[in-house]
Structure formats: C-alpha cells, structure tokens
Structure 1
Amino acid sequence: MSVHMKKRYLMATAVVSGFLFLPAHAQYVGPSGNTAQPSVQKTAQQDVKSILANPVDDQHVTLQGHLLRKQGHEKYIFSDGSGEIVAEIDDDDFPSQPVNEKTKVEIIGEVDTGLRRPPEIEVDVIKIVN
C-alpha cells in the first residue's frame, strides 16, 4: 500500500470515527428524575382590539379569525372581528391545505411593537379551525 493510500485510509477512518462520537440530537419525551417544573410562559387569549389598544412587546397571544389579504412578503392582514392587524407568517408555516379569506384560522405568536409602525403579530403557528 502506498504512502498516499495509507494517508487517505487514515483520513477516512478519522472522519468516520468523528461522526460516531457526535452527540445524538433527539427530543426526550419520557419522565425525568428532576421534579422541578420548567417555567412556561402562558399564551394570552385576547382579541385584536385589545392588542392594538395596549400592545405589549413579546406578549404571547392566540387569536382566531381570518387572513383577509396578503399585504407583502409574508405579511397578511388578520381580523378576528374586533379589528385588523398585520400578521407576519413564514411561508413554510402554512398548513398543507389552501387558506383564503374565508378560511377560519388560529394563529399563535407574539406581539411585535415598533417605534414607527403599528404593532404586528409574529406568528409561530397557524392552524385551520373547523
């Protein structure tokens, strides 16, 4: 075996063994020995009107209503009947079923306030409501 082949073999062996020692990334869903409960920020159930009247940056919200129209790239006008607000929704987050202005949806996300614009909702989850 030539020196060049030996170097290639050793390099390949080192790369493969390096992958074997990488930590596995999996979500553990079973019980834990730690009895302390993690702090979970509750999602506020409210309406668009109250969000617009008193916006709190990063406040978690859950709203049901309709996406009335697309305003720009990943920006939609959302209404729950009490008012209208911009909802920022990543294209990848939409459900597999088509959504239009007549489709009732539930959005879960955070309020995003800005100095020079009205508050918006940064949507983390969008679901179709039956």
Structure 2
Amino acid sequence: MKKQMAYRIVLPLLAILSLPAAAQYTGPGAQAPVQSVAAAAAAKDDAVVDMTGFIVRQLTADKYLFSDGKQQIRVEIDSAVFPRQPINDKTRVRIRGELEKDFLESPEIDVKLVEVLK
C-alpha cells in the first residue's frame, strides 16, 4: 500500500522533471514551445509542446484525441500522468510534453503533464 502511494507521488513528479531542460531556457536561440495543433505540423521531432484545449475522445488505453479548438492531434497519456479527478470532453486542460514525429505516421504528443484548468 505504501509502495503504491509512493508511486503515485514519485511518478508524476518524475514526469514533470523529465521535460527537456531547453524548455526552461528563454534566452537567445531558445525555441518557443509548440502551442497549437497547426504549429505541431511544422515543428521538429521532440519539440516541446504546451497547449490548452480538450481531450475529446479515448482511442486506446493510453491514446486520446486532443483538440485545441481548431484542429485535433493524437496524444499519448500514461495513467501515472493522467489527473486523478475525472475529466470529460468538456473539461479544459493544459498539456505539456514532446512532439513525436515517426516516419509514415501522423504526429503525436507524448504528454508528460496534464493540468485541469478552471
């Protein structure tokens, strides 16, 4: 029981800390985070993503469809990162993570943090 509690605290913390260090750098040459689905199409693989919108549908156990209000993109959210409170397609969220662009596949976001907005 204590191990499960420790995992619930440690895993989300590790997910937050695993975001690339470049995401914190804002000086010359810094890459701004991708903030829309449209911008994700032009961004490079492993680009830092910081978007607000809605998780509109669950596709598989850890894959979802995310909408920024204009376009949609597939996102991967591990259960350790998913918010503890229930959310639905009308719950506004902020996601942070990395853009994954694999050969012959549509772009996907590997989500490291999901924050419920009010």
Q: Alpha-carbon deviation of 1:59? A: 0.5
SS across alignment from 2:104: coil
Give the residue type in structure 1 aligned to 2:101: T
Paired residues, number: 91
Q: Alpha-carbon deviation of 1:45? A: 4.6
Aligned match of 2:36: 47
Question: Structure 2: which 5+ runs fail to align?
Answer: 1-19, 24-31
8 Å CA contact 2:58–2:65 kept in 1: the answer is: yes
Tell me the TM-score normalised to structure 2 length.
0.72
**Counterparts of 2:110 and 2:89 in 1: how far apart (Å)?**
19
What are the equivalent positions in structure 2 for 1:71-86 lying under 5 Å apart?
71-86=59-74
8 Å CA contact 1:88–1:122 kept in 2: the answer is: yes
CA RMSD of aligned residues (A): 1.5
Question: Structure 1: which 5+ runs fail to align?
Answer: 1-38
Identity of aligned residues (%): 35
Runs (4+) of structure 1 exceeding 4 A deviation are none
